[in-house]
């Protein structure tokens, strides 16, 4: 009788860029992989802001995890959430009450919004990490425009048409530019009392420039593009309060119905599960081989891990880092590598509305239309694995030619809108 060979049991927590990269790398090998995620889909997060601003539909940038891994017969997908980890017993506890044993554990749990100790702001300033976040922001933006169409009180109407984005990193810059295009260009053709100059979009940054992780030259180019779109830039004044219908910036109170948070992120509670050292953002401080100290069979990758790069600063929380780390850990588990992890930086990209983007490739720095074309092609290329490459390409072409946003749908129950005092269309009230 043939001797049974025990296969290595690998558990991956999180089906983001890092977790999915690790699962794909382990597919087809002599290991049993269990991939755990609380959602059944993987989201291409760099384009979430386009769902939030009605340029794309959720299905355009997301795909079922099971479908993505359908050919990986040794990978099992579990829809559940981790509640605790017992490293001594090599057990993962799930909220459903089940337990899963592992020989190697990969923590790719991502990050959540950080309000710097002011979690109460979340109710009025949602962040953008999930499809649910994007749909909630889209609903808020579109409802504000609908209500403004028939609102006769000037102050109330201006608050409805004021949009504030907090944080001028790539997400904040892209959100502000997209909202400006939506509110000032796309919808003004379809509404009768909203003109391009009715809406006000503010981008608030506590620092002294947009895109602080980019070279100053590209930050200046991005700021110029935002101003051309009509976005007001506020530097140097931190947000002191966010409430229902207002934002306090420095000593100024800004009345705004729609506020979007893009100012900070915090790691998942994975460090609490293991009782290990973390950085100020809650990320697990890992060794150069991405192992968790004193937990040799546990790895942390992506937004869950804190690893210093050549400049002694922690590697950025971006998709390329997570994907490279996922592949590296999978190869380590398979016994393919012994050298330490080294991140290959292929540059930073950010877009600012139509026709403008910035690209940092080290010595080569680009901005403007050519950079926007490269940004568009790169994002379509990395949508590989989804049926939506063609869909997104055609959608972007349609949006570019017509300024129309095809995903401008408000779902769920719609609150009662203010009624105008007469049956005739309201005359346009902005120049």
Return residue ranges of the chain for CATH 3.50.50.60: 8-113+265-333
Residue 157: pLDDT over 80: yes
Tell me the pTM: 0.89
Q: Which of 129, 124, 79, 73 is nearest to 100 (CA)?
A: 79
- Going by C-alpha positions, the residue among 45, 92, 39, 46 that lies closest to residue 66 is 39
Mean pLDDT for the stretch of residues 386-410: 69
pLDDT at residue 12, as a whole number: 98
Lowest mean pLDDT among 36-50, 91-105, 270-284, 377-391: 377-391
If one compares 424 and 223, the residue with the highest pLDDT of the two is 223
Question: Higher confidence at residue 431 or residue 333?
Answer: 333
CA distance 405 to 410: 13
Q: In terms of C-beta distances under 8 Å and separation of at least 24 residues, what long-range contacts does 147-156 make, across chains too?
A: 147/257, 147/417, 147/418, 148/193, 148/194, 148/198, 149/191, 149/192, 149/193, 149/194, 149/426, 150/193, 150/417, 150/418, 150/419, 150/420, 150/426, 151/418, 152/418, 152/420, 152/421, 152/426, 154/429, 155/255
Separation of alpha carbons 49 and 61, rounded Å: 11
CATH 3.50.50.100 residue ranges of the chain are: 119-263
272-313 pLDDT per residue, tens: 999 999 998 899 999 999 999 998 899 999 999 999 988 888
Strand partners, 349: 359
DSSP 8-class letter at 414: P
Q: What is the mean pLDDT of residues 414-421?
A: 57
pLDDT score of 73 more than 80: yes
Q: For 303-343, write each residue's pLDDT tens digit.
A: 999 999 888 889 988 999 999 999 999 999 999 876 899 99
> Quick one: pLDDT at residue 421?
45
Residue 169: C-alpha distances to residues 153, 176, 359, 363, 369 (Å)? 34, 11, 14, 21, 20
Confidence of residue 388 (pLDDT cuts 50, 70, 90): low
Scan for tokens 């070279």, then name that residue. Answer: 215
Share the mean pLDDT of the chain. 88
pLDDT for the residue 256: 96
CA distance 279 to 306: 7
174 is catalytic: yes
State the architecture of 119-263 in CATH terms: 3-Layer(bba) Sandwich (3.50)
- Residue 2's pLDDT is 43
Helices (DSSP H) in 55-210: which residue ranges? 65-68, 131-150, 154-160, 170-181
More confident residue, 426 or 374: 374
Catalytic residue among 149, 174, 181, 205: 174
Cβ neighbours of residue 132 under 8 Å, at least 6 residues apart? none
In CATH terms, the fold of domain 8-113+265-333 is FAD/NAD(P)-binding domain (3.50.50)
């Amino acid at each position: 009788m043939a001797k049974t060979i025990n296969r290595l049991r690998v558990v991956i927590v999180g089906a983001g860029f890092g977790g999915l990269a690790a699962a794909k790398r382990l597919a087809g090998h002599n290991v049993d992989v269990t991939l755990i995620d609380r959602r059944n889909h993987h989201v291409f997060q760099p384009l979430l802001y386009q769902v939030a601003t009605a340029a794309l539909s959720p299905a355009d940038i997301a795909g079922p995890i099971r479908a993505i891994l359908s050919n990986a017969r040794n990978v099992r997908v579990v829809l559940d959430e981790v509640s605790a980890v017992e490293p001594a017993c090599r057990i993962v506890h799930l909220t459903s009450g089940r337990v899963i044993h592992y020989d190697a554990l990969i923590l790719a749990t991502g990050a959540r919004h950080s309000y710097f100790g002011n979690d109460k702001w979340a109710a009025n300033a949602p962040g953008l990490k999930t499809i649910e976040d994007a749909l909630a922001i889209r609903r808020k933006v579109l409802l504000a425009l609908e209500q403004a169409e028939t609102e006769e009180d000037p102050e109330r109407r201006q608050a409805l048409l004021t949009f504030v984005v907090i944080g001028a990193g790539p997400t904040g810059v892209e959100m502000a530019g997209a909202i400006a295009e939506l509110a000032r260009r796309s919808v003004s053709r379809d509404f009768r009392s909203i003109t391009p100059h009715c809406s006000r979009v503010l981008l608030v940054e506590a620092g002294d420039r947009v895109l602080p992780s980019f070279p100053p030259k590209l930050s200046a180019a991005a700021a110029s593009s935002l101003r051309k779109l009509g976005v007001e830039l506020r530097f140097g004044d931190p947000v002191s309060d966010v409430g229902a219908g207002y934002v306090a910036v420095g000593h100024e109170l800004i009345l705004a119905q729609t506020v979007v948070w893009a100012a900070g992120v915090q790691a998942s509670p994975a460090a609490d599960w293991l009782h290990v050292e973390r950085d100020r953002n809650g990320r697990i401080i890992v060794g150069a081989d991405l192992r968790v100290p004193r937990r040799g069979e546990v790895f942390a990758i992506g937004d869950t891990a804190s690893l210093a790069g050549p400049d002694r600063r922690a590697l950025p929380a971006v998709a390329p880092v997570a994907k490279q780390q996922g592949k590296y850990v999978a190869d380590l588990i398979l016994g393919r590598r012994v050298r330490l992890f080294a991140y290959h930086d292929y540059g930073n990209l950010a877009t600012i509305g139509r026709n403008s983007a910035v690209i940092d490739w080290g010595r080569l720095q680009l901005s403007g239309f050519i950079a926007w074309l490269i940004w568009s092609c790169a994002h379509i290329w990395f949508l590989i694995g989804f049926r939506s490459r063609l869909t997104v390409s055609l959608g972007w072409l349609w949006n570019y030619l017509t300024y129309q946003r095809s995903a401008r749908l408000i779902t769920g129950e719609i609150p009662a809108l203010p009624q105008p005092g007469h049956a005739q269309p309201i005359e346009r009230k902005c120049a």
